[in-house]
Structure 1
Amino acid sequence: MTSGTLRVGVVGAGIMAKGNATMLASHPAVRLAGVASRTVDGARRFAEEAGGLPVYDDYEQLIGSGDIDAVVVTTPDDVHADITVAAAKAGLHVLVEKPFTTTVEDADRAVAAIRAAGVVAMCLFNHRWVPAYAQAKELRGTLGDAVVGYARKNDTIDVPTSMIGPWSARTTCAWFLSSHDIDLMTWLIGAPVVEVFATARTGFLHSKGFDTPDAVQIQARYAGGAVATFESAWIYPSTFPTVVDSYVTLACERGVMQVDRQKENVVVATEEAYSYPRNMLQRIQHGVPAGAYRDAVHHFVDCALTGTEPLISIESSRDVTAVLAAAHESIRTRTPQPVRALGAA
């Protein structure tokens, strides 16, 4: 870092890369310093749109350039780990899109590399900055021990078939959606998940040529006795008024909290559709990027500049991976599965 500026390289050139770049560029101490993607044409288009960034042939070249202080990893879910490990070993700070990784082994080696290097790293579970969830966390202490939680995050079919398209077969709706809710619920409950049982429904997306489940449901048991259900699906019709149907509730011994994010204060009716425009995560407010996504990205930048540990520890993000890995093993075996704790054999 020079003169209080964080030079950030972007790995990936898709939708999430553009979103991260916009939020990073809105921080006064950030300078976007390069992009690398396995699709070189995509990287070049991204670089032009971002104001003429240097384009690197691959992430290794970007990491080894000496021209960056941090990387943001926005690649498909299953290739986060190698990039994260390489960046940490090079002494670079790392912001990685959720989920952290898609295997426990990858998560553990990423955590080990990050802690050995002493760099700042954070998985972008940006929902912790949504005002309603942040307020729920503040109120949580007044409600007593957690008893039962439920969270759903269901997408329209455009997400697996168009938005992520070709690599939807390399992930599932649970990795893509429930990762957010597992992080949130575990944060609210304040205890780790120790066992899961999960089921999946497959067929509709397969019939359209996409090798990924239609829906997944996960039953989770927490240390201390609380239980929670996580529902994810991405087969809602494209006519649904929001891309995401998102709802979280947690019942405790002295009260219950509910957060329904389908409607975010604005309703719009036109001749074509009736909709609830999303505004909590990303929005442009008076010409300036705003929302939980920006707040989370700026939090990472501030931590990288000061050496402060982020609100979201890399170990907690590793644990989300462990829960989801156990859930997918449960789907495969049709049996309950323990969640592997960090450091367990």
Structure 2
Amino acid sequence: MRIGLIGAGAVASYHCAAAATLDGMRLAAVCDIDETAARRVASGCPDAAVFTDHRAMLESGTVDAVIVNTPHATHLPIGVDAAAAGAHVLVEKPMATTLEDCDRLVAACDTAGVALTVGHIQHYLPEKVEAHRVLASGRLGAVRMVRDNRSTDYRPGTRSPWFFSPEIAGGGALMNIGGHCIDRSLWFGGGRAAEMLATTVNRFGSTVETDGAMMLRLDNGVAVSIVVVSDPATRGDLVTVVCEGGIIEIDPRHGTTVHADGRSQLIHRTHPDDIQSAFTAQLADFQRVVQGGAPTVPLEHARHVVELVLAAYRSAEEGSALLLADADALT
């Protein structure tokens, strides 16, 4: 399967290396409006063609599938173009910036008969996979609470300008970093969100939120709290899963620890290859979906993540909790 990578941004090199690793796949093309960036990524795969227009790449007959690694609001139009050209689609999260666009992307791929998956990388990171394995085993009993604390940096100038455009990014820290937190918290919590209460903060003169907090009640009774803080003195990325019989702490800087009855066990120690192995596993999953398999991350889950970010914005604006019975109200 010939892969076309559209977007030569921060994680492009991971996608490139993944394609080079897997049997039956190769990176055939890299496309970016910045030709220098595209050539820099393509240099890691000498046979890859370089394009500055994704439509020209699709029309060239060079690729069988695409990885859409572009600004959030462009996921839909690029994905639709790829589907119309008969190319399978792996789109980075968020799936889109509105529920309507999520549905349009699914419909376009269904109509064209091509595969669609959404790159929620949390489901492939080794420290998260090990945590979920323990939860699924039942050794710690039922999950009762999930606490997710994540730092980021949304000071203007610290990232590409499009991240600060509500129209292009769809939001700020919660749409970007918060999407990861929602994704993994739902996965560990084992349910869908039934209620959302959120607060957002705009600092540094930013046009999008730089910080935010979300409290979710899942339909199985699990309580989830998520806090994303921009530019704190102490950076961190810690998920704590509270179960009836113990606690799991997941920190990519150190690994995954199970604590029960006063004793701790490190079940995964962080390795320098963890991030690359996750991207390789994600692309292998995409390959299986193209061959007719079920995706590790269901499209309904990816859509629900977008739904919850939009619900957080509405809750913060209204200053009250939001019941999620009517998803259509969030489009």
Q: Give the shorter-chain TM-score range.
A: 0.7 to 0.9
User: What do the CA deviations read for 1:235-278 (whole angstroms, capped 9, x no partner)?
Assistant: 135xx6xxx6211122234443222333259xxxxxxxxxx997
Q: 2-side partners of 1:343 and 1:326: how far apart?
A: 11
Number of residue equivalences: 311
The aligned counterpart of 2:249 is 258
1:119 is paired with a residue whose SS is coil
Task: Name the residue aligned to 1:324.
Answer: 309
- Aligned equivalents of 1:179, 1:331: Cα separation in 2: 16
Query: Are the counterparts in 2 of residues 245 and 261 from structure 1 also a CA contact under 8 Å?
Result: no
The aligned residue for residue 264 of structure 2 is none
C-alpha deviation, 1:136, in angstroms:
2.1
Aligned equivalents of 2:109, 2:282: Cα separation in 1: 19
Q: Check 1:157–1:329 CA distance in 2 against 1; reply closer, same or farther (3 A cut).
A: closer
For residue 233 of structure 1, report the CA deviation from its aligned partner: 2.3
Matched, 1:300 2:293: no
1:212-231 paired onto structure 2 within 5 Å: 212-231=208-227
Pick closer, same or farther for the CA change 1:338–1:58 going to 2, 3 Å.
Answer: farther
Contact 2:109 2:116 in 1 (8 A): yes
- Pick the aligned partner of 1:291 from 271, 277, 281: 277
* 1:319/1:341 contact within 8 Å kept: no
Partner Cα distance (2:318, 2:74) in 1: 25
Gaps of at least 5 residues in structure 2 are 257-268
Which of 245, 253, 275 is residue 236 of structure 2 equivalent to? 245
Report the counterpart of residue 78 of structure 2 in structure 1.
83
Instruction: Give 5+ residue unaligned stretches, structure 1.
Output: 1-5, 266-275, 283-289
2:298 equivalent to 1:313: yes
| Equivalent in 134, 139, 145 of residue 148 of structure 1 | 145
Q: TM-score, structure 2 length as denominator?
A: 0.83
Q: 1:70 deviation in Å? A: 0.5
Task: Flag the 1:228–1:27 CA change in 2: closer, same or farther, 3 A.
Answer: same
Once residues 341 and 66 of structure 1 are traced to their aligned partners in structure 2, the CA distance between those partners, rounded to angstroms, is 42
How high is the sequence identity, in percent, across the aligned residues? 27
TM-score w.r.t. length of structure 1: 0.80
Answer with 64-73 or 291-300: which moved more: 291-300
**2:146–2:188 CA contact under 8 A, matched in 1:** no
What is the CA distance between 1:342 and its match in structure 2?
Answer: 6.9
Shift of 1:15: 1.7
Once the two structures are TM-superposed, the CA of residue 151 in structure 1 deviates from its matched residue by: 0.7
> Is the CA contact (8 Å cut-off) linking 2:125 and 2:277 kept in structure 1?
yes
Give the alignment's Cα RMSD to 1 decimal.
2.8
SS in 2 for 1:236: coil
Q: Is the partner of 1:212 in helix, strand or coil? A: coil
Q: Quick one: distance in 2 between partners of 1:104 and 1:19?
A: 28
Deviation at 1:91, TM superposition (A): 2.6
User: Residue 216 of structure 1 contacts residue 231 of structure 1 at CA under 8 Å; is this kept in 2?
Assistant: yes
Residues 146, 242 of structure 2: 8 Å contact kept: yes
User: 1:322: Cα distance to partner?
Assistant: 0.7
Residue pair 2:154, 2:210 contacting (<8 A) in 1 also: no
C-alpha distance 67-181 of structure 1, shift in aligned 2 (>3 A): same
Alpha-carbon distance, 1:50 to partner: 3.6
Aligned partner of 2:147: which letter?
A: Y
